[in-house]
Structure 1
Amino acid sequence: MFSVRVARAGLRATAQQFSVPRTAAVNGLRTYATPAQDVKPPVSLFGVDGTYATALFTASAKSASLDQTSKALASLGQTLKADRKLTTILSAPTLTVADKQQIVQELQKVAGADKGDILKNFLATLAENNRLGLLEGICDKFSTLMGAHRGEIELNITSAQELDTKTVNRLEKAVSKSEFSQGKKLKVVTKVDPELVGGLVVEIGDRTIDLSVSSKIAKLNKALTDAL
């Protein structure tokens, strides 16, 4: 698993006892702490991960590498979701500077091409600020920015069990014809949440359609409680 490689890399780095050049880390921090004034993100995001995602979007837009950065973060996001131990490792407070540098190198291998070392500097900045644990959230927020940049609107479909492609396509087609789509291209994101018991929860923009069994049970329980 990727988390095992990252952990081993950290151990090797600790044994070698080398450090990240302070100048490079500070330069990286300056780059992402001050977004360019001539690039305006398509939507406003909140939270620390949203702030970092916005800064990366701005830097990538300035260097005309948005698509490349988007692909890199998509790869990183998929890796983090597939290996849940990885986020725990990235969030460990005991990581040394040497550990972090080796981890950044491993993450770069997953990310792939990196025009102008934008992602390398960004990951180094996260490491310097002890924010590597936010990487998965940053990947998700960057995806939101790219969707808005491309004129897409995100359609989140959460179900108790994984849906087949035919069902997802039917839902996408139905929503695309409704007023909820606002005439925009839909970006479908499917999630599985066993706690729903059954049914679906569909989210698009600021609208939520809760058709889950758990929601119906909650409403029934409330009705029974109010009646007593």
Structure 2
Amino acid sequence: MYTSRALSTALRAGAPRAPIAVRVAATRSYAAPASPSSNTKPPVALFGIDGTYASALYTAAAKMNALDGTARSLDTLAGVFKKEKKLQSIISAPTLSASDKNQIVKELEKHIGQDKDGVVKNLLATLAQNNRLGVLEGVLEKFGVLMGAHRGEIELTVTSAAPLDSRTLSRLESAVSKSQYVGQGKKLKVVPKVNPDIRGGLVVEIGDRTIDLSVSAKMAKMNKLLKDTL
């Protein structure tokens, strides 16, 4: 059995380097063999570095039949980012040494729960090895998008100036779930966000449609109207 360090050395020595999807999957080769899966292809196309890593992670987890467990581990990590506001700036620092990265990975591994197939551990190791720890938060978000599509979910993002109570969110969910924007057999996933800059009102996003009912948007329209009139 290969150790993670030996495998990483072998990956670095290889030329040319394999695509990211292959590298992430390859780091599982020293553990249990992948179980067959009917479809390991990501359900939607993602872009950017974080999207590429998220897609590679999805493929690796799907091959191990570990999508749900991986999603739970990443949800826990996402909670760490929300709690520790300085974490993103720390892992994005360009001056991090190899020792710093190893220590960061060890700390993050404490929050991934039951990662029995080692998929998330290998993601963290790969990001550290490729100087990409700074994209981790984006990878978590993009993987959530892939899992939502995998589960047939449609994401409803509700942004408000202050946190909304559960009753208001439930009413919004009920109203939107009956609309034309939620297809038959689809599940609605409500994602509340807070942005004081909108000053009041709501910004509702579902699919590729945005309904801006914020106070800031109304003020912008009013200012434009006054400017055009004067």
**Paired position in structure 1 for 2:126:** 125
Cα shift at 1:95: 1.3
**Paired position in structure 1 for 2:222:** 220
Residue deviations 1:100-158 (CA, integer Å, cap 9, x gap): 11211111110112233221111111001111111111111000100000000100000
Shift in CA distance, 193/25, structure 1 to aligned 2, threshold 3 Å: farther
**Paired position in structure 2 for 1:81:** 82
Between the two proteins, the alignment pairs up a number of residues equal to: 209
Cα shift at 1:39: 2.0
How far apart are the structure 2 equivalents of 1:60 and 1:26? Answer: 22
Cα shift at 1:22: 5.6
How far apart are the structure 1 equivalents of 2:9 and 2:134? Answer: 18
Matched, 1:23 2:7: yes
**Paired position in structure 2 for 1:141:** 142
SS of the residue aligned with 2:118? helix
**Paired position in structure 1 for 2:33:** none
Gaps of 5+ in 2: 26-38
Shift in CA distance, 31/64, structure 1 to aligned 2, threshold 3 Å: farther
SS of the residue aligned with 1:64? coil
Aligned-pair identity in percent equals: 58
Aligned runs of 1:52-201 on 2, under 5 Å? 52-183=53-184, 184-201=186-203
The answer (yes or no) to whether the contact 2:21–2:55 under 8 Å persists in 1 is no
Counterpart code for 1:214: S
Q: Which has the higher contact order (CA 8 A, sep 6+)?
A: 1
Matched, 1:42 2:36: no
How far apart are the structure 2 equivalents of 1:25 and 1:227? Answer: 67
The answer (yes or no) to whether the contact 1:32–1:59 under 8 Å persists in 2 is no
Counterpart code for 2:84: D
Gaps of 5+ in 1: 1-19
Cα shift at 1:94: 1.5
What's the TM-score, normalizing by structure 1?
0.86
Cα shift at 1:25: 5.4
SS of the residue aligned with 2:205? strand
Shift in CA distance, 25/46, structure 1 to aligned 2, threshold 3 Å: farther
Cα shift at 1:23: 3.4
**Paired position in structure 1 for 2:34:** none
Counterpart code for 1:93: P
Greater helix proportion: 1
What's the TM-score, normalizing by structure 2?
0.85
Aligned runs of 1:9-20 on 2, under 5 Å? none
Counterpart code for 1:188: V
Matched, 1:33 2:21: yes
How far apart are the structure 1 equivalents of 2:40 and 2:9? Answer: 24
